[in-house]
Structure 1
Amino acid sequence: MAVKLITAMLYFAAVFYLGWKGWKETRGASDYMLAGRSVNPFIMAMSYGATFVSTSAIIGFGGVAAMFGMPLLWLAFLTIFVGVFIAMVFLGKRTRRMGLTLNCHTFPELLGKRYNSKFVQSFSGGIIFFFIPVYAAAVLTGICRMTEVSLGLPYEWMLIGITAILSLYVITGGMKAVMYTDAFQGTIMAAMMLFLIGYTYYLLGGVVPAHEKLTAMSHLMPQALQKGGILGWTQGSAQGTPLWLVIYTTLVYGVGIGVLAQPQLAVRFMTVSSDRELNRAVLYGAIFLLLTVFVIFVVGALSNAIFLDRFGKISIQMAGGNLDKIIPVFIESIMPSWFSTAFLLAMFAAAMSTLSSQFHIGGTSLAHDVSQVVMPTKRDSKQVNQLGIVATILATLIWAWLLPPSIVARATAFFFGLTGAAFLPAYIFGLYWKGMTKTGAKTSMVGGFTVSMLWMLFIHKKEAASIGLCKALFGKVTLVADAAPGSTMFLLQWVDPNVVALPVSLTIAVVVSLLSRSLAEDHIQLCWQNT
C-alpha cells in the first residue's frame, strides 16, 4: 500500500509539472484552446490516442470483452482504421486547413463558420456541453472503480479526489497542459499494456493454447448470454440475435463510426502547424491504439480462462456481476504485485488524459460557442472558458454519482452514437462538398439529434427502461415491447439509435442541400481557400 501511494505521488508530481509548464506557456485564447497551433506530431498523436483510449475503453470495454469475447476485436480494427487513418488522413488535413483559414478555435466554431451560422455553432456547442459530462462520468467511474479495488478506498472519495486533481491543471493550463500531460500519460499506458498481454499469454502457455482453452469453455457461457445469442468467447454470437445486435450496432458500429465526429478529437487536428505533422502522427496513433484497445479486448476475453484456472469461476462471477470491476479484479488477483501499482498509474493516465480533454472541450463549448453566440461579452475569453470548464466538471461529478453499475461502456457508446448522428454529415460534407448548405446543415444536425434521442427514449431497451419515459407515457418499456418475440419489430429494441439516426441525418443533409439555395459564393471560396 505504501509503495502504491509513493509511486502515485511521484506520478502526480510529474503531471503537475507538465500542467505548470502548459500554464507558463499559455498567454492567450489561441494557446488556451489550441495550444498555439504548433504542437509536435508525437505529442499530438499521443494526446489524440490517450484522449480516445480512456478507462471507458480499458475498464468498461475490457469488461465487455470479458463477457462477449473476441467479436470486440472488430471495434479495435475500426478504431485504428477509421479512428486514426481515415480521421487523420481524410478529415484531419482539411479540418486543420479550414480551421486556420476561418480562424476557428473549437469544433462547434469550425461548423458555425463553415456554414456562416450562429445557430449551428451554438446548437453543436450545446450538445457537447450537455452530453459530454455523461461520457466523462463513465471515464471517471472507470478509474474510481479501479482505485476502489486496488487501494481499497471508498468510491465516493475517489470521485471527489480525482476530480479535484484534474481541475487544478485543466482549468489553469488550457490545451497545452492537457496535451503535455496526455503524451506523458499515453506513454505509460502503452508500456503497461504491452506487458499485460505478454504476461497473460505466458500464464496460459502461449497464444495458440490460450485461444484453444477459451474456445473449449463455450459451455460455461452464462445461460442469459446464451439465450441472447452468444455462442462462446471465440465463437461470437448467432446472427440477428439480440446480443449480436448489441455487439455490432452499438459497440462496433456506434463507437467505431462515431469516433469520426468526436469534438475532443477533431479539435486536435487544429493544433499542428502543417499536414506533414498529421502524416507523421498517423503511425504514432496507430501503434498506440494497437497497444491499448486491441490488447485490452484480447486480455478481457482471456481473463475468463485464467480465472477458471485459478478460482474455478469465469470473469463476470469474479466481479460479482459488475462489468466495470472485471479488469480491476483481474489486475489485483492475477498480475504481479508490482504491476498492479504500475497499471493503476496507467489507469490514472488513461482517465486523466481523457477527462482533461472532455472537461476542456465541454467548458470551451459552453463559454466560446454557446454563451459568446447567445450572449456576446467583452470579458477575457480565458476567464470565461475557465468558468465553462468548472461547470462541466460539476456536471460530470453529479453524473458519476448517479450512474448505475456496469455503465461505463454503455455511456461511452451513447455519446459516440449521439455525436455521430448529430455532427458527422455536417462535418464531412462541410469539408468535402461545396453544395452542402446552411439549411442542410441545420436540419441534418437537428434531425439526427432528434431521431437519436427519440429512438433511445422509446425504442432502445437499455436506455428506455432506465429512463422510464416510455413506460410513463405508454405503459410499456418500449413501443415495440409487445411485438412477437424474435420478430423484426421485437429485435428493434437492441438496434442502436445511431443505426437509424445517422442514415436519416445523411439523407436530410443531401436532400435539403439540393433543394435549398446555395451559400454565398464568396463564403464558399473562403472556406475552400488552401484546403
Structure 2
Amino acid sequence: MVTRWIVLCVYLILMVGIGVYYKRKTASVSDFVLGGRALGPWFTAFAYGTSYFSAVIFVGYAGKFGWAYGVASTWIGIGNAVIGSLLAWLILGKRTRAMTKHIDAKTMPEFFEKRFNSKTLKTVSALIIFIFLIPYTASVYNGLSRLFEKSFHIDYEWCIVAMAIFTAVYVIMGGYKATALNDFIQGIIMLIGIVAVVVAVLNVNGGFSGSLEAMGVIPDANGNTEVYNSLMGPDPVNLVGVIILTSLGTWGLPQMVQKFYAIKDDKAVVTGTVVSTVFAVVVAGGCYFLGGFGRLFMDANEAGAPVEGFDAIVPSMMDSLSSGLFALIIVLVLSASMSTLSSLVLTSSSTLTIDLIKPLKKNMSDKEEVRTMRIFIAVFLLISVSIAVYSLRGSKQDTMVISSLMGISWGALAGAFLAPFMYGLFWKGVTKAAVMASFICGVGITVVHMLIYTFGIISDAPTKLGELNLASPVNAGAFTMLLGLVVVPVVSLITKQNDEDKALTEEMFKCYQA
C-alpha cells in the first residue's frame, strides 16, 4: 500500500508541475486550444492515442466485452488500430489540418459554421458536444473509481472528486500544450504498463497456452465448450457492432478530430500515422486481449453475468499482481484516464466559449476567452462528477455501467458528426440540410434508444432481432454512424446549395491545391 501511494503521489505532482510550467507559455486562444498549431508528430500521435484509450477501455469495455466474447474480443483492439487510428489518420489527417487552418477553425462547431456558412449548425453542434461529452466523462470517472476503490479502499465518491480536481488543475493552467506533454508521458507509461500486465495476468494460469486451454473449458450459455478461446467467439454478430462503434466512432468525435487541427505540417501527419497505429495495436489490442481472459478470475451468477458486475472484472484480475506491478497498473489507468479527461474538458470548454459565448459578447479579448474556457472546465467537471456519482449508486449500477454511458455518448456524437465532417472534407456538394439531418438522426436515435432501453419507458420493447441485440447502446451507436453515411449524400442530392454557398465552397477547397 505504501508503494502504491508513493507512486501515485509522484505521478500527480509531475502532472501538476507540467501544468504550472505551461501556464506562463499559454497566452492566446490558439495556444490554449491547439498549442499554436505547432505540435510535432509524436506529441500529436500520443495525444490522439491517449485520448482514445482510458479507464473506459481498460476497465469497462475490456471487462464487459472480454466476458461476452472471450479471446475474440481482441478483434475490437485490432479494429481500433486499423480503422480508428490508421485509416482515420490516412483519410482525415492531411485534409483536416489543411482545411481547418485555411478557414481558421479551432473547434468542430466552428468548422461546421465556416464550411457550410451556417451559424445555426455551429450553435446546434456546440450544444450536442457539451451535452453528450458529459456521459463519456462520467464513464471515465466510473472506471477510475472502480480500480481505486479496489486498490486503496477509498470510497468511490472521493476517488472521483480527487481525479476531477487534479485534471482541472493542470488543464486549466496549461491548456493544450500541458495536455500534450502529459499525454506523451502518459502514453509511454501505458505502452510499458499494458505489456507488463498482460504477461503477468497470463502467467497466473500457466502462460498463454495454459490460459487459452482454461478458457476453452468454460461452457457458453448453451453448454458448448471451446467457444471463449475460439477465433470469432460465441457472438460474432454483436462483436461487429462493438468494432464499428469503438473504431469508426473516432472519425466523428470532436476531441479526437481536433488533434489533426493542431499538427504542424503534412510530414508530421505521416509520422503521426505510424506512431498512432503502433500505439493503438499495443494498448487497445493488449486491453481487449487481457479482458478476454476475465472469466478465469470471476465466477458467473445464475443469469450468466459476473457476480460483482462487469466493471469489477478487470480490477479483480489485478488482485493477482504483485504490489509493484499493481502500482504500475494504477498509474497506467490513471494516465489513460486523465489524458482522456483533459481532452474532453478542453474540447467542451473551448466549444462553449468560442462557439456559444463569444458570438454573444462582442469584442471579447483573447485573455477573456481563455479565462472563460477555464471557468467552463470547472463547470463541465462538476456536472460530469455528479452524473458519475449518481450512476454508481444503488440500482443505477445495473443500467449505467461504463459501456452504456460511453455507447450513449459516442453514438450521439459520432452519429451526428462523422458523416457531415468527413464528406465536408472531400465533397463540395454537401448541403446545410444534409448536415442538420445527420445531427437530428444521430441525436434523435440515441435519445429514443436511451429512453426505451436504458430508462425502460416501454417495458415490453423487443430486445432481439435475430442474433442482433437491439437493447445494446453500442449497437445503437454503430447504427447511427452508418445511417449518417447514407443520410448525408441522399439529402445533399435532393436539396440544393445557393450561389453564395457554392462560391464559398469553391474558395475553401483551394486549400488542397497548395
Report what 1:125 is aligned to. Answer: 126
Report what 1:398 is aligned to. Answer: 386
Report what 1:278 is aligned to. Answer: 269
Report what 1:511 is aligned to. Answer: 490
Does structure 1 conserve the Cα–Cα contact (< 8 Å) formed by 2:100 and 2:261? Answer: yes
Within a 5 Å distance, the mapping from 1:129-144 to structure 2 comes to: 129-144=130-145
> 1:231, CA displacement in angstroms?
7.8
Instruction: Mark the runs of 5 or more structure 2 residues left unpaired by the alignment.
Output: none
For 1:15, the aligned partner's letter is M
Residues 42-71 of structure 1 show CA distances to partners (whole Å, capped at 9, x for unaligned) of 111111101100000001112114412123
CA change 1:441–1:152 in 2 (3 A) is same
C-alpha RMSD of the superposition: 2.6
Residue 8 of structure 1 pairs with residue 2 of structure 2: no
CA change 1:92–1:441 in 2 (3 A) is same
CA change 1:287–1:523 in 2 (3 A) is same
Distance in 2, Cα, partners of 1:319 & 1:344: 22
Report what 2:229 is aligned to. Answer: 234
For 1:353, the aligned partner's letter is S
Report what 2:413 is aligned to. Answer: 419
> 1:234, CA displacement in angstroms?
2.1
Q: Secondary structure at the match of 1:334?
A: coil
Distance in 2, Cα, partners of 1:180 & 1:357: 12
Does structure 1 conserve the Cα–Cα contact (< 8 Å) formed by 2:411 and 2:476? Answer: yes
Distance in 2, Cα, partners of 1:376 & 1:383: 16
> 1:440, CA displacement in angstroms?
1.9
Within a 5 Å distance, the mapping from 1:11-410 to structure 2 comes to: 11-68=11-68, 69-217=70-218, 219=219, 221=220, 223=221, 226=222, 232-235=227-230, 236=232, 246-249=238-241, 251-305=242-296, 307=297, 313=299, 320-331=307-318, 333-373=319-359, 378=364, 380-403=368-391, 404-405=396-397, 407-410=401-404
Residues 396-448 of structure 1 show CA distances to partners (whole Å, capped at 9, x for unaligned) of 11110111336112211222222221011111110010111222212222233
Report what 1:501 is aligned to. Answer: 480
Does structure 2 conserve the Cα–Cα contact (< 8 Å) formed by 1:452 and 1:500? Answer: no
Candidates 481, 504, 507, aligned match of 1:523? 504
Residues 326-349 of structure 1 show CA distances to partners (whole Å, capped at 9, x for unaligned) of 212211x21111101111111111
Does structure 2 conserve the Cα–Cα contact (< 8 Å) formed by 1:22 and 1:180? Answer: no
CA change 1:178–1:490 in 2 (3 A) is closer
Does structure 1 conserve the Cα–Cα contact (< 8 Å) formed by 2:113 and 2:120? Answer: yes
Q: TM-score, normalization: structure 2?
A: 0.90
Distance in 1, Cα, partners of 2:147 & 2:507: 49
For 1:456, the aligned partner's letter is M
Please, which moves more after superposition, 36-45 or 414-423? 414-423
Does structure 1 conserve the Cα–Cα contact (< 8 Å) formed by 2:4 and 2:323? Answer: no
> 1:318, CA displacement in angstroms?
11
Residues 221-267 of structure 1 show CA distances to partners (whole Å, capped at 9, x for unaligned) of 4x5xx59x99832245556xxxx554332x22222221211110100
Candidates 445, 448, 458, aligned match of 1:454? 448
CA change 1:319–1:168 in 2 (3 A) is farther
For 2:477, the aligned partner's letter is N
> 1:111, CA displacement in angstroms?
1.9
For 2:161, the aligned partner's letter is I
Distance in 1, Cα, partners of 2:227 & 2:209: 17
For 2:72, the aligned partner's letter is P
Distance in 2, Cα, partners of 1:257 & 1:230: 32
Q: Secondary structure at the match of 2:496?
A: coil
Report what 1:444 is aligned to. Answer: 438
Distance in 2, Cα, partners of 1:326 & 1:303: 6
Does structure 2 conserve the Cα–Cα contact (< 8 Å) formed by 1:440 and 1:508? Answer: yes
Does structure 1 conserve the Cα–Cα contact (< 8 Å) formed by 2:48 and 2:276? Answer: yes
> 1:196, CA displacement in angstroms?
1.2
Does structure 1 conserve the Cα–Cα contact (< 8 Å) formed by 2:63 and 2:294? Answer: no
Does structure 1 conserve the Cα–Cα contact (< 8 Å) formed by 2:411 and 2:442? Answer: no
Distance in 2, Cα, partners of 1:425 & 1:6: 46
Residues 154-208 of structure 1 show CA distances to partners (whole Å, capped at 9, x for unaligned) of 1111111111111111122111111111111111111111111222333333433
> 1:488, CA displacement in angstroms?
4.9
For 1:271, the aligned partner's letter is A
Instruction: Mark the runs of 5 or more structure 1 residues left unpaired by the alignment.
Output: none
